[in-house]
Structure 1
Amino acid sequence: MGLVVKKFGGTSVGTTERIQAVAEQVKASREAGDDVVVVVSAMSGETNRLVELAESIHPNPPAREVDVLLSTGEQVTIALLTMALEQIDCPARCYTGAQVRILTDSSFSRARILDIDAEPLQEDLQRGRVVVVAGFQGVDEEGALTTLGRGGSDTTAVALAAALEASECQIYTDVDGVYTTDPRVVPEARRLDRITVDEMLELSSLGSKVLQIRAVEFAGKYRVPLRVLSSFEEGPGTLITYEEEGMEEPLISGIAFNRDEAKISVIGVPDTPGIAAKILGAVAEANIEVDMIIQNISQQGLTDFTFTVHKRDYQATLDLVRDNAEQLGAREVYGDDKIVKLSLVGVGMRSHAGVANTMFRALSNEGINIQMISTSEIKISVVVEEKYLELGVRALHKAFELDVQPVAELEGLSDE
């Protein structure tokens, strides 16, 4: 018998019929011999409805009170799911984040988990009950309700799995696992049987929406095996785990893309110490996050400096840098919000040469010009024109044969 934490998102519990289906699934797992803790989100659309209610009362409502309001969404779901479990003779008990005492800091709407009191949950599990916990929420030292921000229920589930030393944390979504890329862009995209935490962190940070990045960070820190599964169809899903010696390392595991990028170029600034700090210092003071950065080789004492920001910050950043252009000694400042970032991710890059060459050649063969390049140990990202997104992703997917099942996986299937 093992302990499994199961998390169900808003679409999975969007109606009473879906909640009853989740209850049946949980009961089946319990009857198979597992102890089960369930973490649920608010029913689909409920959080947006609550936000609209708040904004109809106050155009800029206090964050503390917003968290009190939003936390009620999950409270509805845990009560209904517990009722559904009891109705089918599966003993259960539900808890809000405050009742579990998921202790967080006081950063309302984006709180971080500090500690969890798992003892009450363990007592219920020992009595044969399924434990149902509200995701997305906690309580600070002063007893104020807090919420964890976008995707916070994933983080709740992983944190509980770590605190309870669960054998696995299962995240049920509307997809059946992690794919080599978005199947809506590349129909031949293949579901991965497993992927490392490091790779999943990179994919999440680069645009993949399967898992909330903080949940993946938590899983890596506490070595919690994560599995992404579909709420609507059976299947093994994708296991997200830490690397093990001897584990087969594919060259490239996936391709991520991000449409929310814009770039700012500062042309002809003096190539002197501190110029980068002068350009980016004002941007940082405006609380604008910078992603990729490139500085060209100096010519005649001048250099060009280009960086990317989120598209929502594009105009504000462009205006800010233009306002400072004279002070910076820049000849020209211009921007482009018609770009996308394409990224290759794979732990196999650590031990294989030629990945960048294959990537650049594949894009060149399609007439796609690369504007910026950024690399890390297991990632290569490029910026290209927005109109080439789908063509670029398809070309890279084909160049690295990501539609082909690895030999090791095929042999494993034949042994089962």
Structure 2
Amino acid sequence: MALIVQKYGGTSVGTVERIQAVAEKVAKFRARGDQIVVVVSAMSGETNRLIELAKGITDEPTPREMDVLVSTGEQVTIALLSMALHKLGLDARSYTGSQVRILTDSAHTKARIEDIDDHNMRADLDAGRVVVVAGFQGVDAQGNITTLGRGGSDTTAVALAAALKADECQIYTDVDGVYTTDPRVVDNARRLNTITFEEMLEMASQGSKVLQIRSVEFAGKYGVPLRVLHSFQDGPGTLITVDDEVDMEKPVISGIAFTRDEAKIIVRGAPDTPGIAYKILGPVGAANIEVDMIVQNVGKDGAADFTFTVHRNDFKRAQQALRNASEELGNPEIIGDDKIAKVSLVGVGMRSHAGVASKMFEALAGEGINIEMISTSEIKISVVIAEKYLELAVRALHTAFELDQPVAG
């Protein structure tokens, strides 16, 4: 008997019929004696619908009330799935994040899990019940409903698997595994049989939408066996493992991640003095805005240009935070561009192979694509380019690094 945590995304539970199909899949696992915890997202499109309702009231709803609103989507799904399981003769019990008591901090819309009370879940599992938990949500110490950010149901599933010491965490979605890049952009993208936690972490952080970054962090930190599978197609999926097993046949690059949700802010003519980076980024951080890539250039006459990227949704707030601090910064020019994109090469093979960056730059130059910013780590190279060239860049790099070719052996 195994204890398995399964997570089903929005498209997997997008209709009543699909919810019933999920219930039938869960029933098969129960029939072989497994203990099952199911984590579900809101039905496909429901979160967007709720957000639009909020926008119909105000352009700037308070984060606390947004959490109260959007958390209702998952509550609908857990109730419907539990009903479908009951109809199949299975004992099931649904829980919201606050009922489980998934304790988080108080950062509304971007909360982080601090603790999980597994007492009720374990009691239900021991009683033979299927436990159905709302993903994406929790509660802070004051009892306020919180949400974990888009894709947070993945994080919920992995965190529950870690708390329960589950034998496996299975992420069911509308793709049959992790691919070398998005198949909607590159037709001949390949499914990977395995990928390391380290690579998956970089892929997720650089824009791959298959798994949320915090779910990969949780899985790697607690050693949770993690597998990405298709909701309604049989197959092995992709296993995410702590063992990198890099050998002579493994490609230098495992995948290409990208994101269109980038914006660039340039602070031009700030004083080139010690602490200026903090003075620029301090107000941005205080506004709970995450900064990604950073470039600082020394200009003329003791002035400096400071460029950084943020999520496009935070673009206007970041600019306003800087304008509010403009006098302390020496009244520099603050300009921006929210029509940029980021493309990243990821692969543990980079550690033992030189020339990856030059090959990347050559491929982009061959397509006439200008690079605006560059960032590197041990297993990743990222570039910022104009958004209009994104898909062209991804296809060119996929071909240049032969990611469409089957792996030998």
Match of 1:98 in 2: 98
Which is higher, the Rg of structure 1 or of structure 2? 1
For residues 254-295 of structure 1, the C-alpha deviation after alignment (integer angstroms, 9 at most, x for no partner) is 111222333344556654434434444454455544322223
Cα pair distance change 1:59/1:297, threshold 3 Å: closer
User: How do 1:18-167 residues align onto structure 2 when only pairs under 5 Å count?
Assistant: 18-51=18-51, 64=64, 66-167=66-167
Moved more, 310-319 or 154-163: 310-319
Instruction: Tell me whether 1:199 sits opposite 2:236 in the alignment.
Output: no
Q: How does 1:351-390 map to 2 (within 5 A)?
A: 351-390=352-391
Question: 2:260 matched to which residue of 1?
Answer: 259
Distance change (3 Å), C-alpha of 1:357 and 1:131: same
Q: Which residue of 2 is the match for residue 231 of structure 1?
A: 231
* Native 8 Å contact 2:250 2:407 kept in 1: no
AA in 2 matched with 1:133: V
Give 1:161 deviation, angstroms. 0.6
Equivalent residues, number: 407
Q: TM-score, normalized by length of structure 1?
A: 0.85
Partner of 1:414: none
SS in 2 for 1:114: strand
Could you tell me which residue of structure 2 aligns to residue 16 of structure 1? 16
Aligned partners of 2:155, 2:186: CA distance in 1, in Å?
Answer: 29
Q: Which amino acid aligns with 1:290?
A: V
**Which residue identity does 2:135 align to in structure 1?**
G
Q: 1:251 to 1:125 in 2, by over 3 A?
A: same
Q: Counterpart in 1 of 2:295?
A: 294
The answer on whether the counterparts of 2:271 and 2:329 sit within 8 Å (CA) in structure 1 is no
Q: Quick one: structure 1 residues 270 and 233, their matched pair in 2 at CA, closer, same or farther if it must change by over 3 Å?
A: same
Contact 1:227 1:240 in 2 (8 A): yes
The letter of the residue matching 1:340 is: A
Aligned 8 A contact 1:124 1:131 in 2? yes
Deviation at 1:145, TM superposition (A): 3.8
Deviations 1:67-100 (A, max 9, x none): 4454443233222222222222333333333332
Amino acid in the other structure paired with 1:384: I
Query: CA 1:92 to 1:182, structure 2 compared with 1: closer, same or farther past 3 Å?
Result: same
8 Å CA contact retained: 1:262, 1:338: yes
CA offset digits 1:296-354 (Å, max 9, x no partner): 46677665443333334546656746994996486x66544443221101111122222
The corresponding residue for 2:398 is 397
1:190 deviation in Å?
Answer: 0.8
Distance in 1 (alpha carbons) for counterparts of 2:147 and 2:103: 11
For residue 61 of structure 1, report the CA deviation from its aligned partner.
5.9
* Secondary structure, counterpart of 1:125 in structure 2: helix
What's the % identity of the aligned pairs? 70
Counterpart for residue 183 of structure 2: 183
**Residue 274 of structure 2 corresponds to residue 273 of structure 1:** yes
Q: 1:185 to 1:325 in 2, by over 3 A?
A: farther
Deviates more, 1:4-13 or 1:287-296: 287-296
Matched to 1:147, the amino acid is T
- The equivalent residue for 1:171 is 171
C-alpha change, 1:186 and 1:326, in structure 2 (3 Å) is same
Cα drift, residue 196 of structure 1: 1.6
Task: Report if the CA contact (8 A) 1:95-1:134 is conserved.
Answer: yes
Q: CA distance change for structure 1 residues 82 and 312 in 2, over 3 Å: closer, same or farther?
A: closer
